[in-house]
Amino acid sequence: MPSYDSHPSRRAFAGAVGAGAAAVSLGLAGAPAAVAQAAETGPAGGPAPAREREFRAARERRSRRPNILFILGDDLGWADLSSYGSPHIRTPHLDRLARRGVRFTDAYSGSATCSPTRFSLYTGRYPARTRGGLAEPIADKSAGLEPTHPTLASLLRDSGYATALIGKWHAGYLPDYSPTKSGWEEFFGNFGGALEYYSKLGLGGEYDLYEGDAEYKDLRYYTRILTERASEYVARDHHGKPWLLNLNFTTPHWPWIADGDTRESAEVVRRIRSGDPRALWHQDGGSVEKYKEMVEDLDRSVGAVLEALERSGQEKDTLVVFSSDNGGERFSYNWPLSGNKASLQEGGIRVPNIARWPARLDGGQVSRLPVFSPDWTATLLDLAGARPHPAYPLDGVSLAGYLLRGEEPAPRDLFWRVRGERALRRGNWKYYRGKTGRDQLFDLAADLREQADRSAAEPGRLAELRAAWERTDAQLLPYPA
C-alpha cells in the first residue's frame, strides 16, 4: 500500500502527463510561469518530457467483459491534479493512472452540483428526467432516486455482474431510497451530501455511516475507512463474476478537515451539536494549503486501491474510470476556467477524467473528445453487454466504438440545465445563459475562459444553439414552483 507520507521523486512524473506537459498539450494560455518552464525544460531544468500522444484505438485486441472501478472525487476542480496543470498540488498516483491510460481534456459532469450529477451517472439520463434529479442538490428526505428506475448497477447486476457502492450515495435517504434498493448488492457509506470526517455527523446532525441500511460505527477518518473497504472489495474472489464498484469519496468536499485534524473536527462537531445549521459548510475554515493536503490525500487513497487491484491480479481486465462529480469549490485551482461548482460556466462542470483498461487501451494518450457523465453509463453498459431499458432511453452515448475501434463519434450536443442557468455545447461552441438572463456565445477553442462573448458577431449561431437547448428542455420535467 502506498505510504501516506510519501512524496513523488523528481522522476515520478517526468512523462507525458506532468503538470508542465499538461500545460503544453492543452495549450493553456497564461499557465503559471513555473509550469510553463517545466513544460519547456523538464523537471529540474532537464530535457523536456515527452508529450502525450493523441488518442488512437488499439483496435485488434480482444478481452473478456471488464471489471469496472468507477472512482469519483467530490468537488474536485478541473485543474486540481498535477496532470491537469496544478502548479502546487502533487498527485503522482492519479498522474500514473493517466500515464497508463487516456486523459480526457474536455470531460464534463452531468450537472453542476453533487446529487444531479450522480443521478446522471446512475441512470445515464439528464437529471431532470426524474423528480429526484430536480433537487440541486438533495438536502432532505423528500426526494431521491426511485427504486423502480433502472440504473447502471441494476442493469449490470441483471447481466451477471456483482455490484457495490462504497462512499457517498447522495441520491436520497432511508427509508425510501438506498443503493441497495437501486441495484447495488452491497453498500457501505453515507447517504447525504456532506459529513464531518471523524464523527460522521451529517448536515442535520444525524449520524451518517451505514453498511447496507444499518448504521455502522467507526469514528476513524472517513477517507481511510473508504480506502480500506474499497481495497478489500477489489481484492475479493467474486467467484468468476465480473464486478462493478462505484467508489465515491467525499474528499475534498468541505468541511476542511484532513487526516489528523482532530481539534478542528471537535470544533465543527461542537457547532453541529449546538444547532448551527451551517457548521459543516465550514465557511470560516480551510485554506489553499489545507485543500492541497486533502487532494493529495485523495490521490494517495486512490493509489492504495489501485495497488490492491494490482496485487489481486485483476488489473489487466479492470476498466478504471476516475472523475469528479462537478467543478471545484472555493479553494480549487481551476485556471484558466471561469466559475466554480453550481455554475454552468466551464469551471462548474468541466472535470478531470481518466480511463485505464490495460487489456484494451494503450497508455500515455490524451483525448479532446467532449464527453459527460451519462456517456460513461452508456459506455459501461455497452462494454458489459447490457442493454438499456427500452422505457428509459439513455441521454448519454456509448464511447465503446471510439475507444476500442477508433470510430468517429456522431456529432451531438451536450446539454445542461440548473436553476437560473442554461448551457449547451456543440463542437467548440458553447451557448450559455447565466443568472443575469443574458444569452452569450463562446468559442471554447479560442476562449476557454469564456470572456469573449461572440453572440453579437454570430447571431445566427446563437439562435440555433438556443433553439436546440429549448427543444431538449421541453422534454424535461419542470422545476417545482
Residues 440, 347, 14, 66, CA torsion sign: negative
The residues near 378 (Cβ < 8 Å, ≥ 6 apart) are: 124, 388, 394, 396, 397, 398, 399
Choose the catalytic residue: 7, 88, 93, 114. Answer: 114
Choose the catalytic residue: 93, 149, 170, 282. Answer: 170
To the nearest 10°, report the CA torsion of 30, 34, 36, 41: 170
- Gap between the Cα atoms of 313 and 206, Å rounded: 40
Q: Kindly report the backbone phi and psi dihedral angles of residue 266, in degrees, each rounded to the nearest multiple of 5, phi listed first.
A: -60, -35
To the nearest 10°, report the CA torsion of 450, 456, 459, 462: 20
Grid-cell match 442538490, residue found: 137
C-alpha cell of residue 119: 443521478
C-alpha cell of residue 344: 454552468
- Gap between the Cα atoms of 171 and 138, Å rounded: 7
The residues near 257 (Cβ < 8 Å, ≥ 6 apart) are: 196, 197, 198, 264, 265, 268, 282
Whether 114 is catalytic: yes
480-to-135, 294, 419 alpha-carbon distances in Å: 10, 36, 11
End-to-end CA distance of the chain: 51
**Cβ atoms 55, 361 nearer than 8 A:** no
Whether 149 is catalytic: no
- 175 preceded by a cis bond (ω within 30 of 0): yes
DSSP E strand boundaries for 52-209: 53-54, 67-73, 102-104, 107-108, 162-168, 186-190
The residues near 12 (Cβ < 8 Å, ≥ 6 apart) are: 92, 95, 96
- Give catalytic residues, as residue numbers: 114, 170
